[in-house]
Amino acid sequence: MNNTVSRPVMSKTDAQLREILARRIMILDGAMGTIIQQYKLDETAYRGGPDGAFIDFAPPADAGARELFVKGNNELLTLTQPH
């Protein structure tokens, strides 16, 4: 009985994706990816500002308006960044 496990060979596409992911932010998604690309964001916009906040996001200053701004918004995209 042979106890060795054969590992699948990485395809050229797999190798290319891993190489890109090691260097850059990559969004792999269908319709949402297309919508995000329409904003023509650069890498800085994807990564956020120096304090971790996203650059173009400016919620309403009034606390009540802010609650209405996000309440029931099922399409709100939450992005987090490790510290």
Q: What is the mean pLDDT of residues 54-74?
A: 58
Strand, helix or coil for residue 48? coil
Place of tokens 């792999």: 28
Which one is predicted more confidently, 68 or 18?
Answer: 18
Residue type, 36: I
- Is the pLDDT at 51 greater than 70? The verdict is no
How would DSSP label each residue in 17-60? HHHHHHHS-----SHHHHHHHTT---HHHHH--TTS--TT----
Q: Read off the pLDDT of each residue in 3-18 and give the average, rounded to a whole number.
A: 80
Cβ atoms within 10 A of the Cβ of 71, count?
Answer: 8
**pLDDT top residue among 75 and 23:** 23
Please tell me the predicted confidence (pLDDT) of residue 44: 74
Which of helix, strand or coil describes residue 35? helix
